[in-house]
Amino acid sequence: MSLWVDKYRPKSLDALTYHPDLSERLASLAASGGDFPHLLVFGPSGAGKKTRVVATLRVIFGPGVYKLKIDSRVFPLSSGRKLEFNVVSSVYHMEITPSDMGNNDRLIIQELLKEVAQTQQVDQSARQRFKVVVINEADSLTRDAQAALRRTMEKYSPNLRLILLANSTSNIIAPIRSRTLLVRVPAPTREDISRVLAFVAKKEKLSLPIELADKIAEESRRNLRRALLTLESLYAQNDVLDASTVIPVPDWEVVINSIADDIIRERSAKSLLQIRAKYYDLLAHCIPADILLKTLVFKLLPRVDGELKPELVYWASFYEHRIHQGSKVIFHLEAFTAKFMRIMEIYFSALMED
């Protein structure tokens, strides 16, 4: 039994009712035939980037893009070990996430894309002769992998089109940005999310008060995937839903909330050790370090004085950059915590002297 977020995923550009101008733009690109460019599709999580990309591929190749299979590829490393990598593919396209392999992502880019580019389109009835490779989390690729990607784009463009998915273009190197057509996918509005929630509830023959739909849309922070998962979990946990139904906070956000409380309450080495244990717990449960840091900042902002807010945002961005550049994320999370504790201590000491 599939989740509602997958069950009701739109399969055509016309079915994507929010941001219709974007659907029209992608449809015109798909209709351009052999002139279809490399794309860099970027926008916040839950905005529908992959949904729109796959719907665009359907315009190019037909419904066969939804007939997917998962293959496991093995790549030999120079150390003698073997790297196993999963690939989701159809006859016409391939979806990969090289950043899952860490610093070995360059090998995936070089070997896998070279193999795809040198293989002719299998389906002779295909509307286009090129194959498409969709690269998820492109902004998490290492610099070496992005450099290899640039060379692949130049060398194999007749047989291969790349579609890069990213939350932001800031971590994409300039040579790749200049070789792709940038397509921004904005997050749906709260009204758009409420309409989608009402549509799904109607399809499931369930009663959803409009007040609760609006509340879910508000809590989801314009993330449609999160809103649908929240709706499904509420129906699983409650026999009847009404406007007063409480939307549960995810466990990991509860932990981050407690970290924010710890930072405000006590700024000491003992408190820092307790926070370190909570960081380790969150990282062990696969909460990405940058998401963790961003959520912590939003929890801290309402708790600190206005004069400290610019410092908070500055040092959060500084250490987020360090997280992406380094390998031990716990060091940078701890450094941010210690830094902001120190800033708060200096600030309150100055207040006491005045």
pLDDT digits (tens, 9 = 90+) for 305-335: 999 999 999 999 999 988 877 778 999 999 9
Mean pLDDT in residue range 162-184? 93
pLDDT band of 172, cuts 50, 70, 90:
very high
User: By mean pLDDT, which of 2-6, 52-56, 184-188, 231-235 is the weakest?
Assistant: 2-6
Q: Are 13 and 27 in contact (CB under 8 A)?
A: yes
Between 329-353 and 251-265, two packed helices, what is the crossing angle to 10 degrees? 40
232-235: long-range contacts, CB 8 A cutoff, minimum separation 24: 232/3, 232/4, 232/5, 235/204, 235/206
Percentage of the residues of the chain whose pLDDT score is greater than 90? 56
Please report which confidence band the pLDDT of residue 30 belongs to, taking 50, 70 and 90 as the band edges. Answer: confident
Query: What's the CA dihedral at 141, 142, 148, 152 to 10 degrees?
Result: 10
**Interatomic CA distance for residues 222 and 192, integer angstroms:** 9
Confidence band, pLDDT 50/70/90 cuts, at residue 173: very high
Q: 192: pLDDT confidence band, cut at 50, 70 and 90?
A: very high
pTM for the model: 0.84
Is the pLDDT confidence value at 126 over 60? no
20-24, 65-69, 103-107: lowest mean pLDDT where? 103-107
Note the pLDDT of residue 129. Answer: 73
Residue 181 DSSP code: E
Distance of CA 270 to the CA centre of its chain: 34
Average pLDDT over residues 70-81: 82
Q: Are the C-beta atoms of residues 145 and 109 closer than 8 Å to each other? A: yes
Residue appearing with tokens 């307790």:
274
Q: What is the pLDDT of residue 120?
A: 60
Share of the chain above pLDDT 70, in %: 96
pLDDT digits (tens, 9 = 90+) for 82-120: 888 889 999 889 999 998 887 888 888 888 888 887 776
Question: What local confidence, expressed as pLDDT, does residue 354 receive?
Answer: 66
Task: Tell me what pLDDT residue 95 has.
Answer: 93
The answer to whether 167 and 50 are in contact (CB under 8 A) is no
231 exposure class (CB count in 10 Å sphere: 0-12, 13-18, 19+): buried
**Spatial strand order in the sheet of 39-42:** 69-76, 82-89, 93-96, 131-135, 160-166, 39-42, 181-184
Report residue 229 as tokens: 């998962």
Cα separation, 8 vs 204, whole angstroms: 10
Can you tell me whether residue 247 is helix, strand or coil? coil
CB 188 within 8 A of CB 48: yes
Q: Identify each DSSP E strand in 55-209 by its residue range.
A: 69-76, 82-89, 93-96, 131-135, 160-166, 181-184
- The kind and range of the H/E element at 334 are helix 329-353
What is the reported pLDDT for 121? 55
